[in-house]
Chain A
């Protein structure tokens, strides 16, 4: 660990700090639009967003693999804008692992330490410790080619851990694994991080991965941080329609509706929905959102839906239906006996309404 890496963390509680970070490519394309955020020591923060939203770029800017056009990045109290990746005291795990193909597992893990001038016996001790932690002891003399995907993934993590960096950066580390392994590795990474207590920035496009792993999430869209918060904050109170639609599976239903002049009822199609609290907005055009799981079947339900298709998952049923022209998805417990063409009457949990300005997509 370099000498200055620990200084400053006491005066400044945030471990990684981004201040107005922007990325503009030479061709004028602006990939990241002024991102501010503070990550506390030991926190697990996930950057999530659809592909092309700039999440990997942002991570690579923290790592030092991309230049920072404007703004400042601090790691452990040090401004790192002009430092080489190796001087930033971070370790990164890549999507395709980027293991050195000609080196054994042992050498892959030892390479960074060797470059730092760590004594041989210290390297040996640390590599063996980490190998034990990740159950790689048997594989130390193999080459990456002779390993399975999950094993390579563990070696890539071992290579990061062995350096005892001040922060881990993960760039979609699980996307090359099959579904079952992905769920397993999710737990492994989360447990390891909790055990080591190392600040972690993790990039993924998979919102389930993001929700399950993160202490806090940053949802990015087109280089703009739409919302930063804990998974439950984002789920319960999405600030924008984009976040609302991105977090949660199946995605939130949106219906375009008109707000009555007095702000007490919402009208869409034939349905009139009385509101618990008066709503005020500049225009009467509102996007009304509710989650598929916040719906109950009821004979006196306010909304009647036309069923299209029912997916039976055993513990629950996913119902694809239509309200007028709007597609609606419902997620109901147990086995629901409905088929194409049926009409279902439903009620929506009135505490779980979400309203967004139709044009701006911002929560009302």
Chain B
């Protein structure tokens, strides 16, 4: 809107600021909690200002890890591998299936389309028991494959890419055909570069989706060296017969937040473009 009305401006700023405060407050509490020692955190009221133990806690968590838990470096690495495998796996499979559905006229095309569609209704939480059994029988428990493959098989990204491909003008395909490009050449040389922003947007979404996985990693990993950081934060709180080490847990949570934040900030421009750009 181009009109200039001070009251509505004030109100909209107020609403925006309130929203920001609601989002930021828990993060602030996390930072605060990570900067005190454990004794202070058990006192009431909880502190709202920063303490002086931040770097002390950081050194402890990064160097020695949280007591009774896997070293944080391994967990971060596991999470990273899982998130990347899920993001890349989903993107490659979805790109290919969307390509098949949009550009090829094969028998039962619509049937396959709807079959892919139905997987939207079956996220891993719904099919968790049979999926677990399959993964167990394939001997993939406590492996990266077991962690990621069941999560890769789903349709969300296929739809997004289908939409993207549908918005690519037919003439590009025709021009490429006249230029002698075969199907895979068209896919690599023209379609992928043209869909670059959508792929980036999908990568951001899927990386965060993969990073935040909780239930599935909890089920398929028993080996401490395969644990991911998100699931182990929960485990830390449940360490038996001990008061939770809140300062270390919060520090771990802060560290767990960093990679997704970096991905979002780093790919922000492409992300927004990929979700809003309509002209190819």
Contacts and interface: CB of A to CB of B under 8 A. Distances in A.
Given A101-B280, A102-B193, A91 B178 contact: yes
Given A112-B180, A115-B181, A115-B185, A102 B196 contact: yes
Closest 9 CB pairs of A and B: A98-B171, A86-B180, A112-B179, A115-B180, A102-B193, A98-B175, A85-B178, A94-B171, A85-B177
Interface in B162-191: 169, 171-172, 174-181, 185, 189-190
A104 B134 CA distance: 49
Contacts of A84: 177
A112 B178 contact: yes
A100 B174 CA distance: 11
Contact of A96 (B171, B180, B181, B190): B171
B189 to A, nearest CB: 7
19 contacts: A64-B178, A65-B177, A91-B178, A94-B174, A94-B175, A96-B171, A97-B171, A98-B171, A99-B175, A100-B172, A100-B175, A101-B194, A102-B190, A102-B194, A103-B193, A111-B181, A112-B178, A112-B179, A159-B179
A100 B193 CA distance: 10
Contacts of B181: 86, 111, 115
Q: Is the contact region of chain B dominated by helix, strand, or loop, or is it mixed?
A: helix
Interface string A97-139: 1111111000000011001100000000000000000000000
A307 interface: no
A98 B172 contact: yes
Nearest to B178: A85
Given A65-B178, A85-B177, 6 more contacts: A92-B174, A96-B171, A97-B171, A100-B190, A101-B194, A115-B185
Contacts of A115: 179-181, 185
Contacts, number: 61
Nearest to A163: B179
A159 B177 CA distance: 13
B252 to A, nearest CB: 42
A214 interface: no
Contacts of A103: 193
B170 to A, nearest CB: 9
Contact of B179 (A63, A64, A86): A86
Interface string A60-71: 000111000000
B contact residues, range = 10 to 19
A111 B171 contact: no
A101 B176 CA distance: 12
Nearest to A171: B171
Contacts of B175: 92, 94, 98-100, 159
A18 interface: no
Contacts of B178: 63-65, 85-86, 90-92, 112
Most central of A86, A96, A116 by chain B CB within 10 Å: A86
Nearest to B185: A115
Contacts of B185: 115
Interface string A255-291: 0000000000000000000000000000000000000
Q: Which of B172, B176, B177, B178 has the most CB of A within 10 A?
A: B178
Contacts of B169: 96, 98
Nearest to B192: A102
A95 B169 CA distance: 12
A102 B280 CA distance: 10
Contacts of A91: 178
Most interface-central of B171, B181, B193 (chain A CB within 10 A): B171
B177 A111 contact: no
A65 B175 CA distance: 10
Interface in A129-173: 159
A111 B172 contact: no
Contacts of A98: 169, 171-172, 174-175
B175, B189, B193, B194 interface centre (most CB from chain A within 10 Å): B175
Contacts of B174: 63, 65, 85, 92, 94, 98
A197 to B, nearest CB: 21
Contacts of B189: 100, 111
A86 B194 contact: no
Interface in B185-209: 185, 189-190, 193-194, 196
B172 A116 contact: no
Nearest to B172: A98
Interface centre among A84, A90, A102 (most CB of B within 10 A): A102
A111 B190 CA distance: 10
A272 B171 CA distance: 56
Contacts of A94: 171, 174-175
Nearest to A165: B178
A146 to B, nearest CB: 15
A102 B197 CA distance: 12
B179 A111 contact: yes
A350 B178 CA distance: 51
Nearest to A86: B180
Contacts of B190: 100, 102
